[in-house]
Amino acid sequence: MDFQIALLLAQDGITNGAIYALLALALVLVFTVTRVIFIPQGEFVAYGALTLVSLQSGKVPGTLWLLLGLGMVITLVDLSRAVRARKLRRMPSVILFNCVMPLLLAGLLSVVSPATFSLPVQVFITLILVVPLGPMIYRLAFQPIAEASVLVLLIVSVAVHVTLTGLGLFFFGAEGSRTPVFTETSFAIGEASLPGQALLVIVSSLILIVALYFLFERTIYGKALRATAMNRTGARLMGISSSMAGMLSFALAGLIGTFSGILISPITTLYYDSGFLIGLKGFVGAIIGGLASYPVAAIGALLVGLLESYSSFWASAFKEVIVFTLIIPVLLWRSLTTRHVEEEP
Amino acid sequence: MKIKEILFGILAVAAIGSAPTVYADINVGVTLSATGPAASLGIPEKNTFTLMPTSIGGQKINYIVLDDASDTTTAVKNTKKLIAEDKVDVIIGSTISPNSLAMIDVAAEAETPMIAMAAAARIIEPMDAKRAWVFKTPQNDAQMATAIVEHMTNNNVKTVAYIGFADAYGEGWWNEFSKIAEVRKIHVTANERFNRADTSVTGQILKILSSKPDAVLVGGAGTPAALPQKTLREKGYKGTIYQTHGVANADFLRVCGKDCEGTILPAGPVLVAAQLPDSNPIKKVALDYVTKYEAAYGPGSVSTFGAHAWDAGKLLSNAIPEALKTAKPGTPEFRKALRDALESTKNLIGAHGVFNLGPQDHLGFDQRARVMVKIQGGTWKLVK
C-alpha cells in the first residue's frame, strides 16, 4: 500500500463517514428527545435517493401515495379526537399539512412531468415528498405510546422499519438506481484526484452539521428540543409540548436522511433496502457517542467510515465483521467508564 | 378490544384458513424469492407463473405461489406447507441455491418431485436417494465459468482478478472459476469480496488495480454488480471486464450505462433470442417466451431469470401427460410417475437450452445452453 492508495482510501472513508455522521446525529437527536432508537433512519436515505430517481425518469414516485395515505389516516384520527374533545381549533392546520399539501403535490405531479424540472426543483420536490413522512410516522406509530419503555419503542421501531422496507420494494422495485452526478469537476491533490461529488458530500454534511449546531444553540425550537432531551417532565412543566418536540425531531431526522440519500445517489447505486445497512453504520457511530453526545457520535461515525474503507482494502470478505465488531470494545469501555442510570419511569 | 371480539376474530381467521381444498386437479406448489435480497430474480419468475399453461394433458393445473423472502427457513416452511396443506404433486423452487438445498430433504421425505430454479450444481450432484427427487433448470455455474475461461484463453488473458458477492453466489463462482482457471494456466492475482448493498468498493478496486490484472471478473447478480465495474472504470482501468450471467437484465444496463461498454458475459440463449441463427432450435421457444412476457409486462421487461421458471413449466408440460397414463393426481403413485417421467425427458427444447435428462443428470443441458454475450451500444450482442 503506497501513499496514493492510502490517500484514496482516506478520501473514500471520509466521504462515507460524512454520511454516517449525519445519520448518527439524527439517531442521537431522535433518541435523546423521544427515547426511540430510530432503526428506519436509513430508509429515508433510500426513499430520498429513489424518489429523486423516479422524478428524474418522469415517473410519479411511490412515496407520494404513502404521503397521501399517511396524511389521510392522520387527518381522520385527529379529526375524530378533536370532535370528541370538542377542540376543533387546531384542525385547519392539521388538514392543511396532512391532506391539502400532499394533494397539491399529487396534482402538480400529475399535470407536469417531473423530468422537465431543473435539478434543484427536483431535489426540493423530493424533500417535501419524503421529509414529512418523518413526523407522520411519529404521529401514527410513536406518539400514542410515547410513555412506553425504550424496549417497546424499539420493537415498534423495528416494525416501522420492516414496513417501510416492504413498501420500498413495492414502490421502487428490487433493482437499484443511481442519479447522474451533480458536478463533473474534480480537483487534483498531489497525485490523487478528488471528485467534485465527494467534496460536495463532505462540504454539505459540514454545512448541515453547523446548521444543526445553530438550531440547537440559537433558536427557541432547538432549545425546546434540548430541554426535552434533558428532562421530559421538567420541559413539559415549562410548557414545552413533548409531542411537538417529537414531531420536530422526527422531521429533522427525515430531513437529514433524505438529504443524505440525495447526496450519495450519484456516487453509488442505492436499493430499496440499502438504507438499513447505512443507518446501522451511523448507529455504530451513535453508540460510540453513547447515544448522547453529538460531537463524539460524529467522530465515531467518521471512524466507522475510515475503518470500513481500509478494511475493504485489506480484508474485503471480513469488512462488515470488522466494522460491527468495533461496537464490542466500545460498549465495554462505555460500560466500564459510565455510571449506570436507571431509566426514568 | 373485548374478549368476545378477539375470539370472534380468531374464529373468523380459523374458518378462512381451514377452507377445504379440492384435490381433483394437479397442484403445483411454488416457493420463490419475490422479496428480500434475491427479489430481482424472484419477481420475473413470479410474473412468469401467470403466463404458464392452466391445463396440461386435459387436467386443470393450480399454481400455488408462495414468497420465501430469500430466506432459507421460510423456504423450508413453505415447502412443508405446500406438501401438508395443499397436497401438491410437484414443487418448483426456490430462486436461490441456499433455499433450494435446504428444501431437498423435505421434498425427498414426502416423495414429491422438486424443480429448482437456482444455479448451484450441488442441488443435483452428487446423485443420491434424496436428489433422485430433485431437478433443476438453470445452467450449472461450472458450465458458465468454463465458457468465461475459454473466452479468456482465446483472447490471450494471462492474469485475472476476481471480485464477487460476499455470499453463496460470489463464493460459488470463486470456487468454480479458480478451479478452471488454474487448469487453464490463468493466474488469479486478487480475490476480493463486496456486499450487495455496499455504497463503496474503492478499497477492493484499488487492491485489484495494484495487482495489475489483464482482466477482471465480477461475480455478482443484478444491479449491484455494476458498482465494481463503474469504480474500475472511474479509477482508469482499461482491461476487459467479465460479468456472470447473474447480471442479465435490463436494469443492469440502465444502472451501469456507458461504463459497461465492452463487458463480456456468458448467458442463456434467451437473452439474445432474436440474434440466434434460425437453424438454432432454441430460438423459436425462447422468442415465444420473450413475446409472451413482454406482452404482459411491457417491452424490455424480460430477463433470463423468468425463463428458468418457464423451462420448469416446459419440463412439467412434457412430463405430466406421461405420468397421467399410470396414476391419478394427488396420489403418491402419481408423484412417483411424474418423477420418472421428468427423469426420462429427452430432446425437450426450453428457452435456455435443450434438456436431455437421465438418472445421473437431472439438468441435462449441453453446450447449446450458453452463449457468450458482449455489451455493445447499451444492449446485449451475441458473440459469434
Tally of domains within chain A: 1
- Could you give all domains of chain B from N- to C-terminal order, each with its CATH number? 3-139+303-365 (3.40.50.2300), 141-267 (3.40.50.2300)
Q: In the predicted model, is pLDDT for residue A345 greater than 50?
A: no
Closest approach of A209 to chain B, Cα-based (Å): 22
Whether B197 sits inside 8 A of A274 (CB atoms) is: yes
Closest among B220, B169, B219, B210 to B189, alpha carbons compared: B210
Q: Does A32 touch chain B (CB under 8 A)?
A: no
Query: Quick one: pLDDT at residue B9?
Result: 55
Q: What is the pLDDT of residues B205-225, one digit of tens each?
A: 999 999 999 999 999 988 899
Position A130 in a domain: yes
Position A134 in a domain: yes
Chain B residues closer than 8 Å to A314 by CB: 203
Whether A312 sits inside 8 A of B201 (CB atoms) is: yes
State how far the Cα of A344 lies from the Cα of A288, in Å rounded to an integer.
22
Q: In the predicted model, is pLDDT for residue A158 greater than 90?
A: yes
For residue B203, the chain A residue with the least C-alpha distance is A313
DSSP state letter for A140: I
Phi, psi of B264 (to 5 degrees): -120, 135
Following DSSP, what letter does each residue of A232-249 receive, concatenated? Answer: HHHHHHTT--HHHHHHHH
ipTM: 0.83
**Which of B382 and B57 is assigned the larger pLDDT?**
B382
As given in the structure block, the three cell numbers for residue B133 are: 427427487
Q: In the predicted model, is pLDDT for residue A156 greater than 90?
A: yes
Closest among B297, B291, B265 to B351, alpha carbons compared: B291
Which band of pLDDT confidence, cut at 50, 70 and 90, is reported for residue B6?
low
Q: What is the mean pLDDT of residues B247-273?
A: 90
Domain containing A248: what range?
30-58+113-271
Asked if A25 contacts A294 with a C-beta cutoff of 8 angstroms, the reply is: yes
Position A20 in a domain: no
Q: Which residue has the cell 472511474?
A: B234
Chain A residues closer than 8 Å to B199 by CB: 16, 19, 264, 267-268, 270, 274, 278
A 10 A CB-CB count for A89 gives 8
Q: What is the pLDDT of residues B83-114, one digit of tens each?
A: 999 999 999 989 998 999 999 999 999 999 99
Longest dimension (CA), chain B: 77
Q: Which of B198, B229, B233, B234 to mutate to test the interface with A (most CBs of A within 10 A)?
A: B198
Whether B255 sits inside 8 A of A176 (CB atoms) is: yes
Position A241 in a domain: yes
Q: In the predicted model, is pLDDT for residue A327 greater than 60?
A: yes
Residues 188-207 of B with CB under 8 A from A: 192-204, 206-207
Q: Which residue has the cell 476480493?
A: B192
Residues 80-119 of A with CB under 8 A from B: none
- Identify the bridge partners of residue B354 per DSSP, sorted by sequence position: B349
Q: Which residue has the cell 488469479?
A: B188
State how far the Cα of A40 lies from the Cα of A280, in Å rounded to an integer.
10
Q: What is the pLDDT of residues B349-367, one digit of tens each?
A: 999 999 999 999 999 998 8
Kindly state the helix (H) or strand (E) to which residue B135 belongs, with its residue range: strand B134-136
Position A172 in a domain: yes
**Which of B169 and B178 is assigned the larger pLDDT?**
B178
Q: Does B40 touch chain A (CB under 8 A)?
A: yes
Chain A residues closer than 8 Å to B163 by CB: 316
Whether B166 sits inside 8 A of A313 (CB atoms) is: no
The top-scoring range by mean pLDDT among A112-116, A280-284, A338-342, B17-21 is A280-284
Closest approach of A1 to chain B, Cα-based (Å): 8
Chain A residues closer than 8 Å to B226 by CB: 176, 269
As given in the structure block, the three cell numbers for residue A312 are: 475493504
Query: Quick one: pLDDT at residue A190?
Result: 64
Which band of pLDDT confidence, cut at 50, 70 and 90, is reported for residue A289?
confident
Position A297 in a domain: no
Position A233 in a domain: yes
Q: What is the mean pLDDT of residues B292-301?
A: 91
Q: What is the mean pLDDT of residues B269-290?
A: 93
Following DSSP, what letter does each residue of B137-186 receive, concatenated? Answer: -SPPHHHHHHHHHHHHHHTT--EEEEEEESSHHHHHHHHHHHHHHHHTTP
